Amino acid sequence: MKRGNLYLVNRGTTYDPKKQRVYLVVSRQETIDASFSTVICAPIYSKYAGFPTQVETGADDGLKHDSAVFCDALVSIPKSMLSNYIGTLSDAKMKEINSALRIALATG
């Protein structure tokens, strides 16, 4: 498992009734490689509202349709749930993700 990997996760909840959703692993690689049982992920939605904390993605990145990574909606997911690998975002796309994460996590 690497930072930048995309996984299809079975995760229906009352907040997100969709039974499956693609998530992007955004944890630092050191944390992923450690003995922690969870990693931080950003969900991918089919809607894009143009916020600076959203990064457009799509078929070029292994997805079925145009979508957006929502860096404002980070979740902790058990590594054991990340078994349906889809693909990996490019270094250029991960630079956009890093920028969106900085905005989403800005303090003061």
Name the residue range of residue 63's domain: 5-104
Distance CA 94, CA 100 (A): 10
CATH code of residue 25: 2.30.30.110
Which 8-state DSSP code applies to residue 81? G
Separation of alpha carbons 84 and 46, rounded Å: 19
Q: Residue 64 pLDDT > 70, yes or no? A: yes
Q: Quick one: pLDDT at residue 62? A: 85
Q: How many domains does the chain have?
A: 1
Q: What is the pTM of this model?
A: 0.90
Query: CB neighbours of 57 closer than 8 A, spacing ≥ 6?
Result: 44, 63, 66, 67, 68, 69, 89, 93
Indicate if the pLDDT at residue 73 is higher than 80: yes
**Interior CA angle at 74 toward 14 and 35, to 5°?**
105
